[in-house]
Structure 1
Amino acid sequence: MTSLTGKVLAFVPQRLRTPVVTMIDELLRVQIFDRSMTLAAQAFTSIFPLLIMLSALAGGGSRQHLGDLVRLPDTSARLLDDALDGSRSNAFGVVGGLIVILSATGLARALVRAYRTVWQVPGRRAGAASTGWQIGSVLMLVGFLIVIRMLSSLTGMLPSPRAGQVVVTALADLALAVALPRILLGPVVPWSRLLLTGGLFAAVMVGVRAGGAIYLPRALQSSADRYGTIGLAFTYIGWLYVLSFCLLLTAIVAGVLHVPDQERQDQLADADEQAADTGEHDQGGQRQVGQHDEGDPEQDREHSHDHQPDL
């Protein structure tokens, strides 16, 4: 037990210390902070190029929608409009579009590594089919951003727009957290664990989205005023880090809750027995080697006598 774990447990009731220790061990094993940063960086370099490519292909009418989707300040929206001014399908040829799409699979591969580490499952075999699923998952993420924005705007026609928006976005977050690992890993994760992960993620995102609606526009405007476009990049990466952390955290919590304590203890006991058997086997082999090396003293003397030279 590390000193950090001991300090945390000092404030935890006795009956809750076992699950808290398990959760801390899982967080340290997965290295959630490093993996969240990796996912955030991969998401920034994968999703934004796809959004810009789609905006260029769709023409000028979609640029305003892109600015609204990523909540760009007015000055940055004008920069984006100038950058894409006159850009049509010739700005992204077939080869360029394929490069952008294939480059975006870096996010999918990072997600696969994260999910495999969190849940300790094999995942899909590498190959053309696996790459196709990865491309589909990234395109699904881009489509999710567009659809969730459209649904949020449509909730304004409901009698209670705020409550309707919360319900719609929560259902969308649940569907995303369930579908994403299912597509990337295949049928190796039980549906019960996926649904638990989706429910936890949707519940956490209710609060995160509420906070983001207040924080993100102000942070983007402040970053754009102080540092220009590079400030926007840092702000988006920071926000993507928060989302990635929530995604991994809910997956870890679902993994801990889905496996009962007794089953986890049985798994640990089996691992200890296997390690003990391996150790006994190694010691037995060493004893046999030692006995073989020692040999019989009488045989050694006879052997040395036979090899004495005749005088």
Structure 2
Amino acid sequence: MRDDSGRGGLTGTLAKVTRWGAARAGALRERVPFITRLTRQMVDVSLLDSSTRLAAQAFLTAVPVLFVVAAFAPSAVRDRLVESATYALGLSGAALSQVQQVFAAPDDTTRDTSGAVGVLVTLLSATSCSRALQRVCERSWHVPPAGLRLIAWRWLVWLLVWLAALVVQGLLRDGFGLGRWLGLLLSFVSSTLLWWWTQHLLLGSRVGWLPLLPGAVLTGTGVVALAWASRFYLPRTLNRSVDEFGPLGLVFTLLSWLIALFTVVCVGIATGYVLAHEPPLARRLGTPPPE
């Protein structure tokens, strides 16, 4: 009589392997459309081009705005901005000295040179960053450009709110003196809320709040993670650049950091659109079908 126990065991093993392979193939088939949609989304957003343009606009916005703040803001506000920059970038040594010189107490000549008209022109020109970010949001959510009457005032509001947020970043990151772990939590919550509000504002309220939440969480988390990681490598890089190239080294290093920052922002917002249209999340968030 022939013993088929070995053959039966082998057949069972092969069946299990086949079922496992089929399950893996099914899971892969489910993931591939998401990966394909995500890749197409990054192409539609023009990821590298958008992040580079945003970094350049943010830098061109930051320089004149910082000089205006240094000329007209109270000393307490200037100190808070230096503190926020120190926390965000881990400034120390020569790099910190360069920033402190910018925010040093201005004389009357500086104020007279700037003037009220100069402040207004600076703020209006500084909205170039918010306009560029608006285009990223519209590309990510595949909505047509908003009319000037609908969106123009939102550019200035976005800029002023973010300036106010930057002033308190140092306090948030320190947990208002209660500890770094509380500060990390507060930074995550505030960053998520700011990027949630940013999308809704710059899209002209044409997309509901809930569908924008995945992008806000991804962007807020990515920005906080980048700021945390920057504290380990950016101070040495900044100081070395300043020592070798002077203020120009500070410019190049900060511009590179801004490109990395806005790459995180563009990826977060664009990926949020794809996630919000995934069937499980779309039902919960009430995401309208893509046009």
TM-score, with structure 2 as normaliser? 0.77
The alpha carbon displacement at 1:82 in A equals: 6.3
Matches within 5 A, 1:290-305: none
Residue number among 224, 241, 245 corresponding to 1:227 in the alignment: 245
2:177 maps to 1:157: yes
Distance in 2, matches of 1:37 and 1:18, equals 28
Q: For the structure 1 residues 93 and 22, does the alpha-carbon distance in structure 2 shift closer, same or farther, using more than 3 Å as the test?
A: same
Distance verdict in 2 for CA 1:139–1:61, change over 3 Å: closer
Aligned partner of 1:116 in structure 2 is 138
Q: Deviations over 1:234-255 (max 9, x none)?
A: 1111111112111111111111
Higher RCO (CA-CA < 8 Å; seq separation 6+): 2
Q: Is the Cα–Cα contact under 8 Å of residues 54 and 132 in structure 2 kept in the other structure?
A: yes
1:36 maps onto 2:78 in alignment:
no
Report how far residue 184 of structure 1 moved: 1.6
Matched, 1:189 2:207: yes
C-alpha distance in 2 between matches for 1:77 and 1:106: 23
Question: Is the 8 Å Cα contact of residues 118 and 255 (structure 1) preserved in structure 2?
Answer: yes
Post-superposition Cα deviations, 1:67-95, rounded to whole Å, max 9, x if no partner, equal 33333524414542569455663242111
Task: State the Cα RMSD in Å.
Answer: 2.7
Contact 1:200-1:250 within 8 A present in 2 as well = yes
Matches within 5 A, 1:31-180: 31-58=46-73, 63-71=78-86, 72=91, 73-77=95-99, 79-80=101-102, 84=106, 89-122=111-144, 124-127=146-149, 130-153=151-174, 155=175, 157-158=177-178, 161-180=179-198
CA contact (8 A) 1:55 1:63 kept: yes
Deviation sequence 1:84-118 (CA, Å, 0-9, x none):
45566324211100110011011111111111111
**Residue 62 of structure 1: how far off its partner (Å):** 5.0
What amino acid does structure 2 have at the position aligned with 1:227?
F
Gaps of at least 5 residues in structure 2 are 1-26, 283-288
Q: Which has the larger radius of gyration?
A: 1
Closer, same or farther in 2 for the Cα pair 1:74/1:203, shift >3 Å?
A: closer
Runs of 4+ deviating beyond 6 Å: none
Q: Secondary structure at the match of 1:124?
A: coil
Q: Please tell me whether residue 253 in structure 1 is matched to residue 268 in structure 2.
A: no
What letter matches 2:217 in structure 1? G
